[in-house]
Amino acid sequence: LRRLAPLLMILACVTLDTTILPVVYGGVYTVPLTVVAVFLIGMLMGRMSGLLYGTIGGLLIDITTGTLGMMTFFFMGVGFLIGLILYNPNENLRIARRHAGRRRFQRGIWVFALYAMGEIVLFVIQYFSTAVIRPIFFVNILVRSLICAALTLLLRPVAYAILVGDKRRVPTRHREVKSF
């Protein structure tokens, strides 16, 4: 079930992003839950998983919304980069608890920076088709980046329980050595 959990999480987030959330709230401060899921998968499972599930999530968003290619590369890039920067497979639980506040702040800064960078790239692409720059656009990018960082930090414990689980409960095999 743990192998299917990232895919199910991406599918659930794409479904929420394309069907339910636009009906409930369609404002300018909407952050796709799929990108939050990609951040969490990359953070908890590594750069290749972030790249793979970012590709899947981005393609599904692009197909359902009709913007082929724009979100795919954005999700792929942030999934790979967050996995490259923040994934630590050998994280010691005792040390992690001692430095939890600093690690949480570091994760939030990286998520904020990567999401803001992607939003700025999408803004530049939009500028070449509209030729309009307004100061409110930059305020919207800042607010959406803060919301994305907050959602990622709030949902990380839940995603950790779903995707990684308790490492202490992993059964180890003991090989029996027979002597003659």
For residue 68, the 8-state DSSP code is T
151: which DSSP letter? H
Please check whether residue 38 is in contact with residue 60, taking contact to mean a CB–CB distance below 8 angstroms: no
38-52: string of b/e by CB count within 10 Å (b at 16+)? Answer: bbbbbbbbbbebbbb
**Calpha distance 135→133 (Å, rounded):** 7
Residue 95 has pLDDT above 80, yes or no: no
Tell me the pLDDT band of 28, cut-offs 50, 70 and 90: confident
Q: What is the pLDDT of residue 176?
A: 60
Lowest mean pLDDT among 39-48, 94-103, 156-165: 94-103
Whether the predicted pLDDT of 168 surpasses 70: no
Distance CA 116, CA 9 (A): 23
Q: Give the pTM.
A: 0.84
CB-based contacts of 33: which residues, under 8 Å, 6+ apart?
13, 16, 17, 21, 151
